[in-house]
Amino acid sequence: MDALTDPCINICRMDLSGQFCQGCRRTPLEIGRWPRMTLLERAATLAAIAQRRNASHPCNPCNTGTRHAA
């Protein structure tokens, strides 16, 4: 994935707290602002997403985009 590509993976539903999208891990504000963000803002958002994924589910395959072994 390009470093500044929209992280949406078309699993668009908020977590139970309403804080993050379960698919891309962005906040509602980040989702709404994405088209208008500068490159630096997008890079910062992508870094925050990576931290959120690691904090919520530290499984290496999930955080690297690979699949779990069957």
* Domain contains 62: no
The model carries a pTM of 0.73
How many Å apart are CA 36 and CA 38, to the nearest integer? 7
The range of the structural domain enclosing residue 3 comes to 1-56
- pLDDT tens, position by position, 1-30: 455 899 999 999 999 999 999 999 999 999
* Domain contains 28: yes
* Domain contains 11: yes
Per the structure, the count of domains in the chain is: 1
How many Å apart are CA 48 and CA 14, to the nearest integer? 17
* Domain contains 61: no
* Domain contains 26: yes
Q: Which residue has the higher pLDDT, 70 or 56?
A: 56
